[in-house]
Amino acid sequence: MRQTLAWFPLLLTLAFAQAVHAEGVWIRANQIGYLPDDPKVAILSSVEPQEGAFQVGAFSADIGEDQGAWGPFAHNYRLDFSRFKTPGEYRITFGDVESLPFGIGKDVYDGVPAKLLEFMRLQRCGQNPVTGEPCHQEDGIDTITGEKVDLRGGWHDAGDRLKHMITTTYCVAALKLAGADEEATWGADLVKRLHPDPETMYVQIGDDRDHMPPNTLWHDDQSDYGHGPGGPRSAWRATGQPEGPKHKNESSGLANLAGRGAAAMVLTGDLETAKSMYQLAKDNPGCAMSVPVRAPYYYGESTYHDDLQWAAIELFIATDDKTYLEEAIDFADPAGASRWMGEDRHGHYEFFPYINLAHWRLYPHVDEATKAKLAGYYRDGLERLRKKAEQNPYRLGTHLVWCSTNDVIAFATQAQLYEQMTGDTTYRMLAAEARDWIFGRNPWGVSMVIGVPEGGVASSKPHHLFWKLIGHLPVGGLVDGPVYKDINDGLKFHDFGEDKLARFQSEAGVYHDVFDDFSTNEPIIDGTVSLLLLIEVWE
């Protein structure tokens, strides 16, 4: 390993970054900051009722009405300083209380995409540009035929070493739409090889045998998949049937995986593979799911018409073949509005990738009646979430299920795209507040992007082997984020130790900045890429 890697631990000096606060009073704001025309609402939370004015630079206003109790706080106030647009570095002050610093300006987010892509490069499998070491060069062995297949490359999915094609296919397509061509091309090389013939698509390389000791870095993986420690890993085909040697998933088809793979292939310039994947998707309606082996957890995706629609519209954009356009329109209706929006909970990755980007991609190519229908699908989901968000002072409308940051970002992205499509600004404030939740305007006051902003209060002890084994902070990775307490309790297999955020935990949600809490503090490639796309489309 290169000497430069192991001794790059990015240790956050939290004592320097902590906000000054009076006893029992806190101000939560977006630690990155705000574009000048953004809605800007921070939250003042307290044990006792408060009154008076807050200040941001030359701007001052009353803290407003008490919004009532929520989560760990008895009293909450919405500090709206949207009218303040002067560029600069600021803190919000209320008496002796100060927020963490943040910026206002057209360039405040300019450095964030590079950090997100830094994490994606660290996650690369095969040849890693950060470690300088090759890894998993024997991926993998087909679990049905026992034959060796070449499925090297792609990305390790999270803080462990296995690879999920459910997320990888999405990441390739979304990276390309976000303008991250180099990283999209890296992943596309593997996505192409997932489909070696017209009838085959692989859904997963490795499985949760990866989680057995010993814990090692990518290039020294000693997991045993039946071929000796460090030998070839299992390559699981998407068969369209329930899979798993002990715990079964509920797979019913291939359309989600093959459809998303087709969209990724079109966007990265491989039309031949895209057309073949698209045909496989149409021939096999239903969903492929990840494969559980030791534990019963898996990515239980349940929707696929959105992926067929995405493949069809990308094929139309690339070829101008009206057949694909007609098929994209046909798939739009059964895809409809995102069903998870407004519900109390959903299953693990049940509605991945949480936003139907195909509606946005299709919109410019259809007549006015169809445009109205597509915009209506977006509006329907947004409206259901608006009603939930307005029930709490943080205006959080999404669920705190496992990987909750995915839901938050999907809502913000959908609101942004809807406004661009229609000019309707109804959801602009809620979109900004969802984005701000990610960067620290949450009860814990923690940015969910590891090490971002530098010098701020962000996830700093993530569930990631590079952090645990060599102290290398995987900067730029978006962590799963807070979950409902009952979910966290059900996934707590080890004592987390001292909880420095204990004051801010509640039944409404918990988050722990510790390695052992994989349900709230593990970085994920799909969420990281979704955040990159949100920043790209934000206007």
Q: Say which amino acid occupies 260.
A: R
The number of beta carbons lying within 10 Å of the beta carbon of residue 516 is: 16
DSSP string, 332-382: HHHH-S-TTTTSS---TTTTTTSS-HHHHHHGGGS-HHHHHHHHHHHHHHH
Among all chains, which residue has been given the structure tokens 């574009």? 35
Return the SS3 of 513. Answer: coil
The number of beta carbons lying within 10 Å of the beta carbon of residue 530 is: 27
Distance of CA 314 to the CA centre of its chain: 22
pLDDT value for 77: 98
What is the rounded CA–CA span in Å between residue 383 and residue 361? 21
The verdict on whether omega for the bond into residue 443 sits within 30 degrees of 0, i.e. cis, is no
Number of H helices, E strands in the chain: 16, 16
Is the CA virtual torsion 128, 132, 134, 136 positive or negative? negative
Residues 6+ apart with CB under 8 A from 459: 446, 447, 448, 449, 450, 451, 479, 513, 521, 523
pLDDT value for 4: 37
Residues 6+ apart with CB under 8 A from 533: 174, 177, 178, 413
Angle at 36 between CA 30 and CA 41, to 5 degrees: 40
Find the DSSP H helices in 18-128. Answer: 112-122
Angle at 388 between CA 448 and CA 29, to 5 degrees: 35
Residues 6+ apart with CB under 8 A from 376: 337
Residues 6+ apart with CB under 8 A from 519: 402, 480, 483, 487, 488, 491, 492
Angle between helices 525-537 and 404-422 (to 10 degrees): 20
CA distances from 104 to 164, 176, 339, 362, 532 (A): 38, 28, 35, 34, 20
Backbone dihedral region for residue 288 (phi beyond 0: left; psi -120 to 50: alpha; all else: beta): beta
Per-residue pLDDT of the chain (539 residues; tens, 9 = 90+): 333 343 333 333 333 334 444 679 999 999 999 999 999 999 999 999 999 999 999 999 999 999 999 999 999 999 999 999 999 999 999 999 999 999 999 999 999 999 999 999 999 999 999 999 999 999 999 999 999 999 999 999 999 899 999 999 999 999 999 999 999 999 999 999 999 999 999 999 999 999 898 989 999 999 999 999 999 999 999 999 999 999 999 999 999 999 999 999 999 999 999 999 999 999 999 999 999 999 999 999 999 999 999 999 999 999 999 999 999 999 999 999 999 999 989 999 999 999 999 999 999 999 999 999 999 999 999 999 999 999 999 999 999 999 999 999 999 999 999 999 999 999 999 999 999 999 999 999 999 999 999 999 999 999 999 999 999 999 999 999 999 999 999 988 888 888 999 999 999 999 999 999 999 999 999 999 999 999 999 98
CA distances from 28 to 271, 360, 452, 496 (A): 47, 32, 16, 25
Residues 6+ apart with CB under 8 A from 98: 19, 20, 21, 27, 91, 92
pTM: 0.95
CA distances from 4 to 12, 434, 468, 470, 472 (A): 18, 36, 17, 12, 10
pLDDT value for 492: 86
Among all chains, which residue has been given the structure tokens 């239980």? 300
